[in-house]
Amino acid sequence: MSSAHNDVVELILKDHRRMEELFRTMRNAEADRAGALAEFANLLIAHGEAEEEKVYPDLARRDPVDEEDVEHGVHEHQEGNEALLALLEIADTSSDAWDEKLEDLVAAVTHHLDEEERTLLNDAREHVPDARRAELAEAFVMSRAEHLDAACGSPANVRAVVERGKREGKGED
């Protein structure tokens, strides 16, 4: 059994749990919603980009991993990124519009986390050898760190990621 620091599945799950914690903070009217959103934006973009660059291509080449599940994951990243951008564009964290866009983001991302955990991550646990999961963990961590170091959750970068996704057809299933 792989330990958490050298198992890409466990690293991805750790990020998922942190995203859920940040959603709870962003829903709390007394919390630092803007700070939680900034952390969430960086995490979501870095996580998704690292998955698409380092993890998904490997999973798509494996039997019996369903390549359609990988493509669907990319599509859902785009949906989450678009919902994130819509929330980032609302300045007043106490407004009804902010709360509405937050719930759109929560719905898009939690749907993706649930599906990814039930399909791709379970497939990876069953069909990707521990040694390869460790290699993928290292690549995932490095890619994720590069994106985080580049302030990938800034509104300008999120907008660029969304536009790139549209050009690449990621929004289509």
Altogether, the residues listed in the chain come to a count of 173
With 0-12 / 13-18 / 19 or more C-beta atoms within 10 angstroms meaning exposed / middle / buried, residue 129 is exposed
DSSP state, residue 62: S
Q: Give the mean pLDDT per block of 10 residues along the chain (173 residues).
A: 76 98 97 97 98 92 80 93 98 96 98 94 92 97 97 96 92 63
At 172 the pLDDT is 63
DSSP label at residue 154: S
Q: Are 151 and 157 in contact (CB under 8 A)?
A: yes
Q: How far is CA 90 from CA 34, 77, 83, 99, in A?
A: 10, 21, 12, 10
Terminal-to-terminal C-alpha distance of the chain: 34
